[in-house]
């Protein structure tokens, strides 16, 4: 049975119907609502093909599965959003040990616009290898999650990155985070300069979300001591400790100094990336750390060569 519109129009309509709200607390676009177009898919064979094609645009796999799996040649060419997630350190290490097979398989995903890579171990070296693959020119979003990204001297990037620059020419969104949130996680200011240099080839970058804070080490140690103290204020429910409600934790917190550091490092990044419009830093006072909920945002506007910073909040929970 023919349809009154070309297939391309129906494809566009189905794609719009899949869209879910995308908020600032979500880094990656939410998956499509395929349940909502199930009736559409069952109406005509051509509609079913359209929906199957849209489903094929997103693909999730582990590094080990990617290295060993027999993937049909047509599958990678349809994928636009790829999620690679290792279950444990052994799996990640073994897959990357056989890196030739891993990257040969990965090269087949030639039309990627969004890549999420989560695996134990340093991943900035992997990013340096990814830029050599065919999809490097297509990528608009990279979400990289590892273990040692922010510790000076602990990652490949901090040994050699001053002479290395990665280039993803159409990259708009970049997130760097650890595999698991650590309460006292911070990023030294010198590492921010190194990261700015390392990603210097990403000239179209608009959003840079760094899941680490610029708080002082001494204060973090003091806060940790208060958290273990019997004097630490307990909420009435008795099962959740939220430091923002505890005067012992908060009384010595030099928020003005943290704001000063965030503004200085944001300005550094803004000067490096001419299209950058937002930088996010970890807010250790946030109640929730899931996805982008625990991030504190600074907006960037420009008047000629002048960079203007606008903080979205002061102490956002």
Give the C-alpha separation, 307 to 274, whole Å. Answer: 10
* pLDDT score, position 254: 80
* pLDDT score, position 315: 41
Total of domains in the chain:
1
* pLDDT score, position 63: 76
Give the C-alpha separation, 156 to 123, whole Å. Answer: 8
Pick the residue with more confidence: 202 or 31?
202
Chain centroid to Cα 284, Å, comes to: 18
Q: How confident is the model at residue 87 (pLDDT cuts 50, 70, 90)?
A: low
User: What residues pair up with 185 in beta bridges, in sequence order?
Assistant: none
**Is 272 a residue whose pLDDT tops 60?**
yes
Mapped onto helix, strand or coil, the DSSP state of residue 201 is coil
List, for residues 182-202, the tens digit of each pLDDT value. Answer: 555 778 898 899 889 989 999
User: What residues pair up with 311 in beta bridges, in sequence order?
Assistant: 298
Provide the residue range defining the domain that includes 77.
Answer: 56-216+254-311
Structure-block tokens of residue 25: 């607390």
What percent helix, strand, coil does the chain show, rounded to 5? 40, 15, 45
**Is 309 a residue whose pLDDT tops 90?**
yes
Structure-block tokens of residue 314: 């002061």
> Could you tell me the CA-to-CA distances from 4 to 7, 8, 49 in Å, in that order?
9, 12, 17
Is 227 a domain residue?
A: no
- DSSP state at residue 230: T
* pLDDT score, position 274: 96
Is 25 a domain residue?
A: no
From the list 122, 105, 35, 109, the residue with the least C-alpha distance to 64 is 105
Is 87 a domain residue?
A: yes
List, for residues 49-77, the tens digit of each pLDDT value. Answer: 888 888 888 888 887 777 666 666 667 87
* pLDDT score, position 98: 52
Contact 93, 126 (CB under 8 A): no
What is the pairing mode between strands 295-303 and 306-311? antiparallel
User: What residues pair up with 81 in beta bridges, in sequence order?
Assistant: 58, 114
From the list 287, 284, 268, the residue with the least C-alpha distance to 276 is 268
Is 224 a domain residue?
A: no
Average pLDDT of the residues of the chain = 79
CB atoms within 10 A of CB 161: 21
Q: Which of 45-59, 109-123, 139-153, 249-263 has the lowest mean pLDDT?
A: 139-153
Mapped onto helix, strand or coil, the DSSP state of residue 143 is strand
**CATH number where 159 lies:** 3.80.10
Give the C-alpha separation, 198 to 279, whole Å. Answer: 16
List, for residues 205-221, the tens digit of each pLDDT value. Answer: 999 999 888 887 777 77
Residue 290 CB partners (closer than 8 Å, separation 6+) = none
Give the C-alpha separation, 181 to 200, whole Å. Answer: 26
**Is 181 a residue whose pLDDT tops 60?**
no
List, for residues 122-173, the tens digit of each pLDDT value. Answer: 667 778 888 889 899 999 999 988 765 565 545 544 455 456 889 999 999 9
**Is 14 a residue whose pLDDT tops 80?**
yes
Find the angle CA(83)-CA(290)-CA(20) to the nearest 5 degrees.
60
Is 203 a domain residue?
A: yes
Q: How confident is the model at residue 97 (pLDDT cuts 50, 70, 90)?
A: low
Contact 130, 123 (CB under 8 A): no
Is 94 a domain residue?
A: yes
User: What residues pair up with 187 in beta bridges, in sequence order?
Assistant: none
**Is 267 a residue whose pLDDT tops 50?**
yes
Phi-psi region of 296 (alpha: psi -120 to 50; beta: other; left: phi over 0): beta
How buried is 121 (Cβ within 10 angstroms: 0-12 exposed, 13-18 middle, 19+ buried)?
middle
Is 243 a domain residue?
A: no
* pLDDT score, position 105: 80
Structure-block tokens of residue 250: 């908060």
Is 272 a domain residue?
A: yes
* pLDDT score, position 158: 47
């Amino acid at each position: 049975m023919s349809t009154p519109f070309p297939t391309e129009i129906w494809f566009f309509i189905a794609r719009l119907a899949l869209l879910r709200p995308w908020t600032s607390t979500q880094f990656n676009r939410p998956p499509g609502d395929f349940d909502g177009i199930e009736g559409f898919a069952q109406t005509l064979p051509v509609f079913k093909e359209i929906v199957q094609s849209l489903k094929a645009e997103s693909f999730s796999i582990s590094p080990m599965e990617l290295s060993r799996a027999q993937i049909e040649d047509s599958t990678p060419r349809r994928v636009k959003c790829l999620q690679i997630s290792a279950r444990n350190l052994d799996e990640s290490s073994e897959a990357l040990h056989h890196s030739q097979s891993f990257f040969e398989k990965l090269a087949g995903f030639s039309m990627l616009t969004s890549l999420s890579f989560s695996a134990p171990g340093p991943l900035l070296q992997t990013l340096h290898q990814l830029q050599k693959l065919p999809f490097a020119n297509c990528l608009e979003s990279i979400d990289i999650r590892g273990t040692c990204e922010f510790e000076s001297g602990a990652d490949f990037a901090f040994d050699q990155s001053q002479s290395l620059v990665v280039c993803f020419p159409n990259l708009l969104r970049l997130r760097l985070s650890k595999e698991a949130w650590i309460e006292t996680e911070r990023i030294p200011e010198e590492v921010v300069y190194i990261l700015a240099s390392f990603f210097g080839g990403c000239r179209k970058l608009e959003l840079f979300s760094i899941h680490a804070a610029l708080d002082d080490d001494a204060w973090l140690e003091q806060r940790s001591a208060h958290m273990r103290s019997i004097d630490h204020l307990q909420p009435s429910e008795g099962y959740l400790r939220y430091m923002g409600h505890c005067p012992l934790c908060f009384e010595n917190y030099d928020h003005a100094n943290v704001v000063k550091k965030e503004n200085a490092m944001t300005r550094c990044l803004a000067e490096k990336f001419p299209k950058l419009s937002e930088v996010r830093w970890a807010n250790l006072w946030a109640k929730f750390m899931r996805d982008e909920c625990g991030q504190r945002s600074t907006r960037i506007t420009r008047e000629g060569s002048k960079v203007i910073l606008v903080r979205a909040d002061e102490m956002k929970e």
